[in-house]
């Protein structure tokens, strides 16, 4: 069984009411974070897609988290103590949510939208990787670059390479963790080809171009009665499989702005050095987390999505607020 097959199996085995193929919601993510303190090989906070070398172990880890919460609700969880990357620096802006949506649509659809969506994507994922023993916690930020190319018959190729890992204590990235814990930058972590019918993607069919139909596709995969956090999480899964047109990106951004609590967080420069505006997306289902979505000034499209831990989990020894994961699309 490969990583993508495991992910599909996990979604189908979910005993909750979440539909098959729905992404991890804030509750599931909090369960995962609560047990970060297990041995390093057992866990990594994840991007929505778990296309990493430890994906199978992570899948088992999430299943364990579900079992702990449902079968042994009072089980003692190990305390996780880990460093996290710095929060994005926000600059106040007078832009309203309506301004952001309107401006992004203008830029994203500039020159027309004749070009449709394309199967395949490339993105960078950054994950906290913590090794916990009886004496100390060693933590470093470990980036991975994922490239997926696939066809309508669900054949394709997945490549994952290592970025340059660094400790949070040395954000200049001049200090590289022990090679046993962090692969050298450029190392191919995964290079796998999938025969026709073997790539278990969440969105296999051609994507519609009109807003109503595209949202129907997204919501068919999202949890029932999704909030803005759920909708964005599902859209993130879509971005991890497809390169969308400007008009399709505008649909997602415009729809996101309709959810309760979504607001302009400020002007930012993302972790690839690109200026944009950030929207804060709260979770009404779990106040322990929120998302930040960065809309790129140059493209009017989603350039980054970050998951922020807001505190409130007694077994997670991380000063809040803290970044637990982020994904950047090229």
- Tens digits of residue pLDDT in 190-212: 999 999 999 999 999 999 999 99
Q: Give 56: exposed, middle or buried? Use CB within 10 Å, 0-12, 13-18, 19+.
A: middle
Question: In the chain, how many domains are there?
Answer: 1
The pLDDT tens digits for 240-283 are 999 999 999 999 999 999 999 999 999 999 989 999 999 999 99
Sheet strands (E) in the chain: 80-81, 118-119, 121-132, 137-150, 156-162, 188-194, 242-243, 263-269, 275-282, 289-296, 302-309, 316-317, 322-329
194 contacts 150 by C-beta, under 8 angstroms: yes
Residue 100 sits at the vertex; the CA angle it makes with 99 and 106, to the nearest 5 degrees, is 90
Interatomic CA distance for residues 151 and 118, integer angstroms: 9
Q: How wide is the angle at C-alpha 293 spanned by C-alphas 227 and 256, nearest 5°? A: 40
Q: Locate 235 and state its tokens.
A: 């859209």
Q: What are phi and psi of 4, to 5 degrees?
A: -70, -35
Question: CA–CA distance from 162 to each of 112, 143, 144, 159 (Å)?
Answer: 36, 6, 5, 10
CA–CA distance, 302 with 133 (Å, rounded to integer)? 38
- For residues 103 and 96, is the Cβ–Cβ distance under 8 A? no
Structural domain for 268, as ranges: 3-329
Number of Cβ within 10 Å of residue 113's Cβ equals 15
pLDDT digits (tens, 9 = 90+) for 219-239: 999 999 999 999 999 999 999
Tokens of 206: 């051609």
pLDDT in tens, 111-145: 655 467 999 999 998 876 544 444 445 467 778 99
Whether residue 1 has pLDDT greater than 80 = no
pLDDT at 82: 58
């Amino acid at each position: 069984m490969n990583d993508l097959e495991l992910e599909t199996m996990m979604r189908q085995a979910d005993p909750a009411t979440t539909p098959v193929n729905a992404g991890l919601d804030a509750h599931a993510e909090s369960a995962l974070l609560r047990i970060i303190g297990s041995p390093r090989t057992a866990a990594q906070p994840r991007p929505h897609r778990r296309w990493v070398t430890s994906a199978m172990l992570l899948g088992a880890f999430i299943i364990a988290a579900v079992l702990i919460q449902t079968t042994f609700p009072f089980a003692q969880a190990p305390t996780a103590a880990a460093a996290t990357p710095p929060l994005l620096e926000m600059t106040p802006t007078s832009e309203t949510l309506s301004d952001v949506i309107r401006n992004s649509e203008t830029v994203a659809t500039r020159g027309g939208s004749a070009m449709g969506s394309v199967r395949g994507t490339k993105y960078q994922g950054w994950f906290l990787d913590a090794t916990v023993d009886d004496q100390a916690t060693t933590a470093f930020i470990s980036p991975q670059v994922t490239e997926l190319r696939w066809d309508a018959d669900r054949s394709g190729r997945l490549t994952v390479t290592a970025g340059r890992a660094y400790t949070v204590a040395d954000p200049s990235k001049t200090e590289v963790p022990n090679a046993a814990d962090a692969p050298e930058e450029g190392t191919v972590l995964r290079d796998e080809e999938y025969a026709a019918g073997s790539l278990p993607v969440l969105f296999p069919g051609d994507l519609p171009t009109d807003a109503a139909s595209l949202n129907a596709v997204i919501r068919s995969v999202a949890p029932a009665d999704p909030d803005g956090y759920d909708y964005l999480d599902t859209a993130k899964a879509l971005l991890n499989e497809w390169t969308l047109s400007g008009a399709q990106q505008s649909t997602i951004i415009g729809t996101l702005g309709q959810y309760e609590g979504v607001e302009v967080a400020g002007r930012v420069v993302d972790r690839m050095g690109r200026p944009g505006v950030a929207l804060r997306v709260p979770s009404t289902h779990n106040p322990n987390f929120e998302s930040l979505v960065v809309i790129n000034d140059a493209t009017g499209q989603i350039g980054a999505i970050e998951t922020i831990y807001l505190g409130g989990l007694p077994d997670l020894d991380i000063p809040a607020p803290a970044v637990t994961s982020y994904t950047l699309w090229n």
